[in-house]
Amino acid sequence: MRKQIAAANWKMNCTLTQAEELLSKLAAAEINVTENRISVIAVPAPYLILAQQQLVHKANVFVAAQNCYSKKSGAYTGETSVEMLQSIGTAYVLIGHSERREYFHETNSLLADKVNIALEYNITPIFCCGEALDIREANTQNEFVGRQLEESLFHLTAEQLQKVVIAYEPIWAIGTGKTASSEQAQEMHAYIRSALAAKYGSSVADSISILYGGSVKGSNAAELFAQPDVDGGLVGGASLNAEEFTAIINALK
């Protein structure tokens, strides 16, 4: 059974005091997690060690970085290497979030390098893909997302790919209050799984968790997660509220 995952992405939010308060509430929350029903909290880099310390006794809750660099080390001022992340026990890293692609011009080729080095250091990449509104309106979203997968992931072996989590983000539904319908989410998740199956076979495709990321809230999480190919969510704004995010975790299949 593939993992069902509720992943929080705090983005560039929270002061130290706010982060401590939010982590404390999450650490105390009654959440229904198991080995196959987990939560991942992606916090800003200054709070990675704090999050590890606050959540260390929370079984099946893991800390993630929001980004990493594509090189092991060197003269790359301001960047964070996966070697650094590994050294502090970071389990997951977001790669290719739409904001990284849009604002920092990260290409599919660069993201392939980031996926490679994360896997080299045994950190699970949460690889983000998805289309903007104009692509959705042109009904070319499948081709667009398929190209993202092909250029960033399809060089991997089947064994490597099974260590990757995929997050589908309809960019037009991030922070806009719009949400893809559960049917639209399922349609794209099914397409992604079919693309994986065409390349690697159905048994590999069926083992990979595919998360939905686009205005997931406590009120719509259960409906979204009930879809057969939706294995949880990558949650932005709602993850900054402990009660709301707890409800999302508890909505996992």
The predicted pLDDT at position 175 comes to 67
Q: Does 111 score more than 70 pLDDT?
A: yes
Phi and psi (nearest 5°) for 64? -125, 150
Average pLDDT over residues 45-60: 97
Q: Does 179 score more than 90 pLDDT?
A: no
Instruction: Please give the model's pTM, rounded to 2 decimal places.
Output: 0.97
What confidence category does residue 180 fall into, taking pLDDT thresholds of 50, 70 and 90?
confident
- Alpha-helix residue ranges (DSSP H) falling in the chain: 16-28, 48-55, 82-87, 98-104, 108-120, 133-137, 141-152, 158-161, 182-200, 202-205, 221-225, 242-249
CA distance 52 to 19: 12
The predicted pLDDT at position 172 comes to 86
Catalytic residues: 97, 169
Please give the share of the chain, as a percent, with pLDDT higher than 70.
98
Domains and CATH numbers, the chain: 4-249 (3.20.20.70)
Length of the chain: 253
Please give the share of the chain, as a percent, with pLDDT higher than 90.
94
Average pLDDT over residues 134-162: 97
